[in-house]
Amino acid sequence: MTSYEGTHPTVVVEVGDLNAHIDEQLASTIEAIWECGFDTFTCCQDIGESNADWPEKLPHMAQWVESRRGWMLIDFPVDSGLAFMSAVANAGPRDAFYVRMTHWAAPDAWDVTVKPIDWAMHEDTVPSQFRLHLLQVSFPAYDLPELTRRLREHAAGRSVPPARADWSTVGR
């Protein structure tokens, strides 16, 4: 896990050989993620707060920064991120939380994106070479307790049988 001094207070999280300073609101969730065996890159307990100064240098980012207030973020290597999403989905019912995490049109839908990276961004003398690098999961802070609960259920080997979801909030 990569860590740096940022906007939010942090606590040290340790699981096996992994340890890092984690934003305090995400500490127990990152601990649960690591206990499930999923790798992470970074996390943030409020993306809008962490990036509040961006519009001073990048005015075009003002609307984006404001829209991310109250939203959390966890970055994963792609394979770990996909395994994380499956674990969370299978460890609870197919309820409104599930619909938010799986369908882009749901109210307060999670923003889950795969970010390619060009290694030439870091070394001007090499040709561009893109590869899929991370899966970024952003979600409203109010989903954190259920997310953490589902991770603990997954770690304990408990899952919920598949069932029909109520897709009415996305027009299905």
Instruction: Please provide the DSSP assignment of 20-50 as one string.
Output: EEEEGGGHHHHHHHHHTT-----EES-HHHH
Instruction: For CA atoms 138, 104, 69, 91, give the dihedral sign.
Output: negative
In a domain, 171, yes or no: no
Domain-embedded: residue 21: yes
Which among 30, 1, 21 is positioned nearest to 151, based on CA atoms?
30
Q: Tell me, yes or no, whether 66 lies in a domain.
A: yes
Q: Kindly indicate the confidence band of residue 172, based on its pLDDT and cuts at 50, 70 and 90.
A: confident
1 domain-assigned: no
pLDDT tens string 59-118: 999 999 999 999 999 999 999 999 999 999 999 999 999 999 999 999 999 999 999 999
Q: Which domain holds residue 74?
A: 10-158
pTM value is: 0.90
Number of domains, the chain? 1
In a domain, 168, yes or no: no
